[in-house]
């Protein structure tokens, strides 16, 4: 979970950094023609949001997507385990009682 959260945070930071660089340094806030009294005709990012904070809105969408994906993953795996446990009870019992392949047999006691 920590590794996924770190990768997610780095990607969000990269998206926000590129967005800031494109708007402030490269002046790509408007890609189309600008008409007097009308404004820009082709903006690549949403500009009219509460508080005029488009990047915070996008960050909120990304965080919401991340949380929803973890909830959906947990629900799917829990439901799959429940259904398979009821369809194949012997397999579920055998999987619960078998020793893990990651554990090694030791001939000596650990303190």
Domain coordinates in residue numbering, the chain: 2-97
Write down the pLDDT at residue 77.
Answer: 86
Measured CA to CA in angstroms, residue 42 lies from 19, 34, 45, 47, 74 at distances of 16, 9, 9, 11, 40
Q: How confident is the model at residue 8 (pLDDT cuts 50, 70, 90)?
A: confident
pTM score, whole prediction: 0.41
What are the residues whose beta carbons fall under 8 Å from the beta carbon of 66, sequence distance 6 or more?
Answer: 8
Triad 85, 91, 94: Cα angle to 5°: 115
- Helix then strand count (H, E) for the chain reads 3, 2
Per-chain mean pLDDT for the chain: 75
């Amino acid at each position: 979970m920590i590794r996924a959260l770190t990768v997610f945070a780095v990607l969000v930071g990269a998206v926000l950094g590129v967005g800031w660089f494109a708007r402030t340094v490269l002046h790509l806030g408007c890609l189309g023609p600008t008409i007097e009294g009308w404004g820009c005709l082709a903006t690549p990012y949403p500009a009219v949001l509460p508080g005029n904070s488009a990047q915070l809105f996008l960050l909120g969408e990304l965080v919401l997507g991340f949380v929803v994906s973890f909830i959906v993953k947990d629900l799917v795996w829990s439901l799959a385990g429940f259904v398979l446990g009821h369809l194949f009870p012997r397999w579920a019992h055998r999987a619960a009682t078998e020793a893990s392949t990651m554990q090694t047999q030791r001939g000596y006691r650990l303190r």
